[in-house]
Amino acid sequence: MTGYGDAESQLNGVTYTVEIKTVNNRYFKVNIKLPEVAAFLEEDIEKLLRRNLSRGTVNYVLRLKNASAKVLFDIDETALRALMERLSRIASSADIKCPIDVGGLLNLPGILEPASPDEKTVGQMKKAVLEISGEAIEKLKQMRAAEGAALEADLTKHCSAIKQKLGQIRPRSAVVLQRYAEKLKKRVNELLTGAKLKLDEETLAREVAVFAERSDISEEIARLDWHLQQLEQSCQTDDPVGRKLDFIAQEMLREANTIASKSSDTEITSCVVDIKCKIDRIKEQVQNVE
């Protein structure tokens, strides 16, 4: 979501400059700064930004260069003249000799106001500003696309690492069940030898079945593998997928936690720790994706 774009154009001797910066944000947030003379454009600019960007904090700034005072401000000459005449009368009646500070009078409310452009100028300004805003957005998108390509490569690398670990876990889960059955049978036989009793094979099979059901991680492995496929496919689309990737990463972490809780094998646990580290990295990266 991080990017920068700018553009400028001239209209009636005035240079219009647009700068757009975006940073990461879970949602879409817009900050627009406009000269008062162009404040009427805020709604149109926000609509343009929302059509092109869907996530991140967007900081938009419009600047006017070489603009004359006539373009930027209107002076209420009638009010200013009336105020100066009144001050002169007061000074004369009180026999006070002091110059009138016109600059100070301009700071009074209602004397100096933002210029109100006529209908023709409004149309020209709107067209010029939206055009250069579009140019700035395209530059911004190009920069974000370059960063997105790097993020995609990083996410793909982490997905490949997780798949490799899943490949180690799958055959190991079957071995764990077999070893548990052998270990349980050996232990029970040792305990029953002193009592001169014989092990009931049906009871042993039932205990092994209970353990197998309780420790079966095949469904979690399949779901985690499916989430990996969804994540990689989502990265191939041009649509905004940041929030979707965030959800997929959360589901991946949930499946990894379930595998860890079901398995008592140290090798599987070690693989799950590595998987969770990669998923945490994925969760961090998808926060940067639109």
pLDDT of the residue at 196: 54
- Say if residue 53's pLDDT is above 60: yes
Between vectors from CA 216 to CA 215 and to CA 222, what angle results, nearest 5°? 140
d(C-alpha 124, C-alpha 11), whole Å: 8
CATH 3.30.230 fits 3-70+118-145, yes or no: yes
Tens digit of each residue's pLDDT (9 = 90 or more) over 231-266? 988 888 878 888 889 999 999 999 999 888 877 778
pLDDT of the residue at 69: 46
What value does the mean pLDDT of the chain take?
A: 80
d(C-alpha 214, C-alpha 208), whole Å: 10
d(C-alpha 271, C-alpha 274), whole Å: 5
pTM as predicted: 0.65
d(C-alpha 3, C-alpha 72), whole Å: 31
In this predicted model, which residue has the larger pLDDT, 105 or 274?
Answer: 274
d(C-alpha 67, C-alpha 15), whole Å: 8
- Among 49, 18, 20, CA closest to 35: 18
- Say if residue 59's pLDDT is above 90: yes
In this predicted model, which residue has the larger pLDDT, 44 or 26?
Answer: 44
